[in-house]
Amino acid sequence: MPGSIRARFGYPAPGRGGLTRILIVTDAWAPQVNGVVRSLENLLREAPRLGIEIAMLTPETFRTVPLPTYGEVRVALTRPGVIAERIEAVEPDYIHIATEGPLGICARLACLRSGRPFTTSYHTRFPEYLAARFIAPARFTYALMRQFHNSGSGVMVATATLERELADRGFKRLMRWSRGVNAELFRPRDTSASDLPRPIFLSCGRLAVEKNLAAFLSLDLPGSKLVVGDGPARRALKSRFPEAHFAGALHGEALAAAYASADVFVFPSLTDTFGIVLLEALASGLPVAAYPVAGPLDVLGESRAGVLDDDLRKAALAALDIPRERARAHALTFSWEASARQFIDNVQSAHAKDARFARRSWLRRRRVPAPSLQS
């Protein structure tokens, strides 16, 4: 059974190349465009250079349905037994559950039933997102999230601020996993790709209620406001703020050129756990204006590459005086290679501390079959 499943879904044969194999289970994957997907794509690219093989379990090979209130995102329809078979087919050395959606929930149940340890990561503030959409109170969702993550061997968080916050909420075995930036793609440019009136204040990301874009678009600022990205709130935002310029979703060189052509990057979100777009803007020589909250607080630190203020207009205007060289220099202290090393170290150290995994490793060395994943 595992062999036929492996062949059907294109999973590599066990032991190929002698690399350590990590299975990552994620509900967030292409064609979605968000920080979770970007983090995993870069991890997938860097891991082989570090002696690690990554196998992905994503919605691609499942029937999917649109996520309620967010039709652009499709989630998989499956059950724990099916995921258990997929896990067996991959024969991973380690398992990491990246998201709390249907695939993540089923993978967690499959691991708990079989005694397999696993790590998780806290990418998204679902309690705040659901509360913003009036779906569920944050307190209720935090209880579910705490139960989900505390059953694993460790939960990765992007920043020190988020780590402290989740620890105060009862989350345990927290580990730091920072992010990186492609500094070759996102770089200052000699020419501008925009003829908009200066200064150009740019915001980039998913156009959704939780991103708080209205706080940026309602500011009284000189020059132009440019928004890059797409999402469920785009039509409403364009209607409410007709003077702003909406470029839609951009990728690759077009996205990098948009960053480099602006003067200040405005990040109005109050709920992001990191903000990879902050690093992309900084690497492009763009100073940042943001609220003093988790994400910007940690990314900017003491660099003076941006301005954090509860008055976002004040921050945006003050950021105009920051040298672009300073922004670029700070971004270069982050890399996707360092991020991948941190992730791998977290996975290995968390599993090494888990007595269940220690026993499984001993059984594997003794060539005794591992416990069945079938419930």
pLDDT tens string 15-50: 455 689 999 999 999 998 899 999 999 999 999 999
Q: Tell which CATH classification among 2.40.50.140, 3.40.50.2000, 1.10.3720.10, 3.30.470.10 matches the domain 2-180+336-365.
A: 3.40.50.2000
Q: Which comes out higher in pLDDT, residue 73 or 327?
A: 327
| pLDDT tens digits along 58-93 | 999 999 998 876 667 889 999 999 999 999 999 999
Beta strands in 230-345 (DSSP E): 245-248, 264-267, 288-290, 306-308
Q: Report helix, strand or coil for 142.
A: helix
Is the pLDDT assigned to residue 373 strictly greater than 50?
no
Phi–psi pair at 298, nearest 5 degrees: -80, -40
169 in Cβ contact with 147 (< 8 Å): no
Helices 276-283 & 35-46 angle (0-180, nearest 10): 70
Comparing CA positions, the residue from 144, 157, 126, 180 lying closest to residue 331 is 180
| pLDDT tens digits along 91-120 | 999 999 999 999 999 999 999 999 999 999
Dihedral (CA of 260, 268, 279, 288) sign: positive
CA-to-CA distance for 88 and 258, rounded, in angstroms? 45
For residues 324-352, average pLDDT = 97
Where in the chain are all domains bearing CATH 3.40.50.2000?
2-180+336-365, 200-331
Comparing CA positions, the residue from 210, 209, 251 lying closest to residue 229 is 251
Q: How confident is the model at residue 355 (pLDDT cuts 50, 70, 90)?
A: low
- What confidence score (pLDDT) does residue 79 get? 95
Q: pTM for this one?
A: 0.87
Q: What string of DSSP letters covers 227-244? A: EE---TTHHHHHHH-TTS
Q: Give me 211's structure tokens.
A: 């991103």
Q: How confident is the model at residue 277 (pLDDT cuts 50, 70, 90)?
A: very high
At the fourth CATH level, the homologous superfamily of domain 200-331 is Glycogen Phosphorylase B; (3.40.50.2000)
Is the pLDDT assigned to residue 368 strictly greater than 70?
no
Listed ranges 314-318, 347-351, 367-371; the one with the highest mean pLDDT: 314-318
